[in-house]
A and B are shown apart, each in its own frame.
Chain A
């Protein structure tokens, strides 16, 4: 499509914008030469074109990138600057688990304390010493049953090998008494066969003679009581069993854990307070 009188304006605009090819530019120039009445039209459009001004941006210094602006630290130096916070071990236990663990630990310690107490009090009984009880047959007067009388107290050689570093359980002058439990079935009519655990006297105690005499007295007194009671005839004797009564109310309730010595009574009081505190907390919740 060539330039003509209907489309010359579009060609003129493209011409002043330098958007035409060389051949089209030549065509426009020929058109103006051939049609001089359109020369003013082209000149007016060229006048409307802005001639560039010379404006200088004075702050170029702020735009330059100098090498020192990009200066960077070496990696070795950066490594010296690195900091690492120490790791803190965090437990995920909540309050309930902690309380449960503390309770279990407290109960375990109390259990250990009682175990030590038990060992301390029964050391003499559970030691290799053989304790033999003597059976006494008590018959009512007038019957043919013979009464076996205790001639001598049982003398036990206490060879307790258990030795606590703090406590000496080889107490030579300790006497353990055992009560006689008479079967309630035994009446005046029935003869009673009493299995009597006699007092045990440790042999190596120097004051044993006094104990022996007291035991003899006790036994004879018991026999007298038995014989004084009018017992009816009984077809067969009823055997009763005796129970050991162990004195647990010792004044010394010290708990030994390794080299630590803990007062048992105080510890039990503390443990009770501790348990009461937990119970109170549970109730408050």
Chain B
């Protein structure tokens, strides 16, 4: 990987990695540190990593960095900084629905949360998610489906309560 290709990776994937980490840990500065660490590792291993697999490599490194960070901090709850970052984010249609869904996602365990984020944000396939998170494809499928059903029931329950 050349310097130019690396800088293109920064342009193309830095936002996605940052968003993925930020949505998971909810802390802006920690998320930035993890992103920086991921790109540092990509630079060190630039001769081993192909350009086409750079994105997957970045997410893999960032995910494991995040897991280490969560284990150290022992917190997976959304902090105030995450709330501020989320407030800056532009939601598509229904801000209220998004807030409810965001709260429901935070009730998931870290693995399910990462699965949902990788699938919905980045559009990775089950196989790619399994490679990033070091899970089998069937595990990804089962864990992700459980998370989907949990989120759906949460939304249905809240709609019934609202009605």
Residues on A with beta carbons closer than 8 Å to the beta carbon of B73 = none
Residues on A with beta carbons closer than 8 Å to the beta carbon of B144 = 13, 17
Contact residue among B7, B14, B19, B123 (Cβ-Cβ distance under 8 Å from A53):
B19
Within 8 A of B (CB), among A36-53: 44-45, 47-53
Among A59-67, A114-122, A228-236, the stretch in contact with B: A59-67
Residues on B with beta carbons closer than 8 Å to the beta carbon of A155 = none
A207 to B145, CA, bound (A): 139
Pairwise interchain contact B11-A60, C-beta atoms closer than 8 A: yes
Check B51 for interface membership: any CB of A closer than 8 A.
no
Residues on A with beta carbons closer than 8 Å to the beta carbon of B133 = none
Chain A-chain B contacts (Cβ-Cβ < 8 Å), number: 90
Contact residue among A19, A50, A57 (Cβ-Cβ distance under 8 Å from B14):
A57
Pairwise interchain contact A13-B19, C-beta atoms closer than 8 A: no
**Which residue of chain A has its CB nearest to the CB of B46?**
A65
Contact residue among B23, B43, B151 (Cβ-Cβ distance under 8 Å from A48):
B151
Residues on A with beta carbons closer than 8 Å to the beta carbon of B117 = 50
Pairwise interchain contact B121-A54, C-beta atoms closer than 8 A: no
Pairwise interchain contact B32-A53, C-beta atoms closer than 8 A: no
Distance between A47 CB and nearest chain B CB, rounded to angstroms: 6
Q: Given A17-B119, A53-B91, is A10 in contact with B145 using a C-beta cutoff of 8 Å?
A: yes
Check A70 for interface membership: any CB of B closer than 8 A.
yes
Check A283 for interface membership: any CB of B closer than 8 A.
no
19 contacts between A and B (CB under 8 A): A13-B144, A17-B119, A19-B126, A48-B104, A48-B151, A48-B154, A52-B19, A52-B120, A53-B23, A53-B86, A53-B91, A55-B19, A57-B14, A57-B18, A57-B35, A63-B36, A64-B7, A65-B7, A65-B43
Which B residues contact A (CB, under 8 angstroms)?
Answer: 3, 6-7, 10-11, 14-15, 17-19, 22-23, 32, 35-36, 39, 43, 85-86, 88-93, 97-98, 101, 104-105, 116-117, 119-121, 123, 125-126, 141, 144-145, 148-149, 151-152, 154-156
Enumerate the 10 nearest inter-chain pairs by beta-carbon distance, A residue then B residue, closest first: A48-B151, A53-B89, A57-B18, A50-B120, A55-B19, A48-B152, A57-B14, A63-B10, A51-B92, A13-B145
Which A residues contact B (CB, under 8 angstroms)?
Answer: 9-10, 13, 16-19, 44-45, 47-57, 59-60, 62-65, 67, 70
